[in-house]
Amino acid sequence: MNSDRIRLPSLLEKVKSADEAAALIKDGMTVGMSGFTRAGEAKAVPLALVERAKKDPLKITLVTGASLGNDIDKKLTEVGALARRLPFQADNTLRKAINDGQVMFIDQHLSETVEQMRANQIARPDIAVVEAVSITEKGHIVPTTSVGNSANFVQFAKQVIVEINTTLSPELEGLHDIYLQEERPNRTPVNLLKPDDRIGTTAIEVDPSKIVAIVFSDLSDSPSNALPADSETQAIADHLIEFLKKEVDAGRLPNSLRPLQVGIGTIANAVTSGLVKSPFTDLVQYSEVLQDSTFELLDAGKLKFASGSSITISAPCAERVFGNVAKYKDKLVLRPQEISNLPEIVRRLGTISINTALEFDIYGNVNSTHVSGSKMMNGIGGSGDFARNAQLAVFVTKSTAKGGAISSVVPMVSHVDHTGHDTDILVTEIGLADLRGLAPRERARAIIDNCVHPDYRFALNDYFERACAKGGQTPHILREALEWHINLEERGNMLSKG
């Protein structure tokens, strides 16, 4: 068994227990772990670290690809083991610790973390812990359901722990395309011309002497937590698909559209699922997370190929896909996140990028991260890598939140992740605003007329008209611009005047 999964015999002696491997992680270390949107994270070693921290407290800087499954962020937070965390998370307990100021969270564009390590702007990992399906004859590491930052962590770290997940088929070998960018200033362009191009290796190259421990684990990825579409998410999907049909009719898009990037979550998943019944054909994805909808589209023959950095799917979908790897392997590739999210490739391919906003304002500035301007939700993730560079940057959200107490369309966003310069199309269940080529006052008209919930339309219109009377390229009444957020904080409702 061990020699099937560890094909370089000299590494067999590195097999250790999770506790022994976790003991190699010392207080104060920067630890680079695999894992991207609940897929492919190392599991046994961090869980052993949690147990160890209960007896022998320590604090680490934890760097991953993106969010982790198996409640690893929650458990590490509960034992106080996280001093710093980057570049993304999506866990309630960690979110609270971040917002209480107990964990320092560095919210980053997902393509940038390893770039900053390469330039020594942030600390490189002392130790890397990466999940694998196997280790090759050369001692190279074959990742599992995500690549994320794993290859770069392995390159940068002094020591590497490999966690072999025996629940996943070794047939996953060949799914990954590992390409590492060179150091500046002599870096050459990334020669990836189409989403299905392969430009790297199928395993993470490493000097086998850096591998200090190999741990076997039989823990599975946590299933995706995207909810089924409801009437509002379905309406959002319908508006967007109608818009894309009109773009094809107008000759601005081919019937195969452009490579699609779709963010994580219920709305984004519903939009992609909606494409199953659309007239578009020969679609391709150049995305970061491949969700259930990717496999629905592949099965329906609508999607030709999907490139991503992780596969985050529900339990039934995982059974279908990982139980039948051969059926899907030649239609998929998983890449390092600095390649899946590389702004230069996104711009060149001209992606259609669909991400979710918490709120947007009448001029099209988008807040994806901070509730009421100060409380971190998850992080910007890859949305900025894509939105600034996409051919069509689309943001979707329901028009209200918390039973209608919150309007997702506000006079001024309480925090800006994507400025109006980066946003083309905004969609709520009410309708779609096409902002392309519009000046700020025209953008406001399009957004108020198409996206706002009727309960908030009058108030938003009133604000905009009074702001216009004062003048300006982007009219605002500064005393009132954040009043809706202040109402929410003080009275629990955006329009309540008390």
| CB closer to ligand COA out of 235 and 358 | 358
Report, in Å, the least distance between residue 173 CB and ligand COA: 26
Structure tokens at 360: 């947007």
> Shortest distance, CB of residue 321 to ligand COA, whole angstroms?
19
361 binds ligand COA (CB under 6 A): no
Cβ-based neighbour number of residue 44 at 10 Å:
24
Q: How would you classify the pairing of strands 406-407 and 400-401?
A: antiparallel
65 binds ligand COA (CB under 6 A): no
> Which one of 401, 405, 481, 482 is in contact with ligand COA (CB under 6 A)?
401
Closest CB 100 distance from ligand COA, rounded Å: 18
Q: How far is the CB of 413 from ligand COA (least distance, A)?
A: 9
163 vs 359, beta carbon nearer ligand COA: 359
Rg (CA), the chain: 23
**Who contacts 179 (Cβ-Cβ below 8 Å, separation ≥6)?**
190, 192, 199, 200, 201, 335, 336, 339
Residue 482 interacts with ligand COA (CB under 6 A): yes or no: no
Report the residue number, 29 or 380, with the smaller CB distance to ligand COA.
380
Give me the least distance between CB of 378 and ligand COA, in Å please. 3
Residues paired with residue 128 on neighbouring β-strands, in sequence order: 32, 160
Q: Which residue in the set 406, 446, 460, 494 belongs to the binding site for ligand COA (CB under 6 A)?
A: 406
**Could you give the C-alpha distances from 213 to 11, 15, 41, 135, 205, in angstroms and in order?**
9, 6, 16, 12, 16
Closest contact distance (angstroms) between CB of 384 and ligand COA is 8
Query: Among residues 42 and 406, whose Cβ is nearest to ligand COA?
Result: 406
Q: According to the binding rule CB under 6 A, does residue 38 interact with ligand COA? A: no
Q: Does 259 bind ligand COA (CB under 6 A)?
A: no
Q: Which stretch binds ligand COA (CB under 6 A): 200-208, 236-244, 316-324, 398-406?
A: 398-406
According to CB under 6 A, which one of 200, 308, 382, 420 is a site residue for ligand COA? 382
Q: By CB under 6 A, name the one of 112, 359, 422, 429 that touches ligand COA.
A: 359
Residue 370 interacting with ligand COA (CB under 6 A) = no
Decide whether 21 or 98 has the Cβ nearer to ligand COA.
Answer: 98
Residue 45 contacts residue 131 (beta carbons within 8 Å) = no
Binding flag, residue 77, ligand COA (CB under 6 A) = no
Our CB check for ligand COA shows the closer of 136 and 224 to be 224
Quote the CA–CA distance of 415 and 42 in Å, as a whole number. 33
Buried b (16+ CB within 10 A) or exposed e, 421-457: ebbbbbbbbbbbbbbeebebbebbbbbbebbbbeebb
Site for ligand COA in 265-284 (CB under 6 A): 265-267
Q: Note whether 371 binds ligand COA by CB under 6 A.
A: yes
Binding mask 287-316 for ligand COA (x = CB under 6 A): -xx---------------------------
Burial of 407 (0-12, 13-18, 19+ CB in 10 A): buried
What is the full DSSP assignment across 159-197? EEEEEEETTS-GGGTTSB-B--PPPSSSPPPP---STT-
Tell whether residue 381 is a contact of ligand COA (CB under 6 A).
yes
CA distance 485 to 327: 50
**Phi, psi of 296, rounded to the nearest 5 degrees:** -60, -45
Which of 14, 75, 176, 398 is the binder for ligand COA (CB under 6 A)? 398
Please report which helix (H) or strand (E) contains residue 367, including its range: strand 366-367
- H-type helices in 262-361, by residue range? 266-274, 292-299, 315-322, 325-329, 337-340, 343-349
Is there a catalytic annotation at residue 288?
Answer: yes
Q: Which residue of the set 288, 359, 429, 483 is catalytic?
A: 288
68 contributes a contact to ligand COA by CB under 6 A:
no
Per CB under 6 A, does 355 bind ligand COA? yes
Q: Is 468:458 a contact under the CB 8 Å cutoff? A: no
| CB contact set of 498 (below 8 Å; sequence gap of 6+) | 487, 490, 491
Helix H or strand E encompassing 72 = helix 72-78
Contact region with ligand COA (CB under 6 A), list: 170-178, 310-318, 395-403, 435-443: 395-403
Point out the residues that are catalytic: 288
Binding stretches for ligand COA (CB under 6 A): 263-267, 288-289, 355-356, 358-359, 368, 371, 377-378, 380-383, 398, 401-402, 406, 408
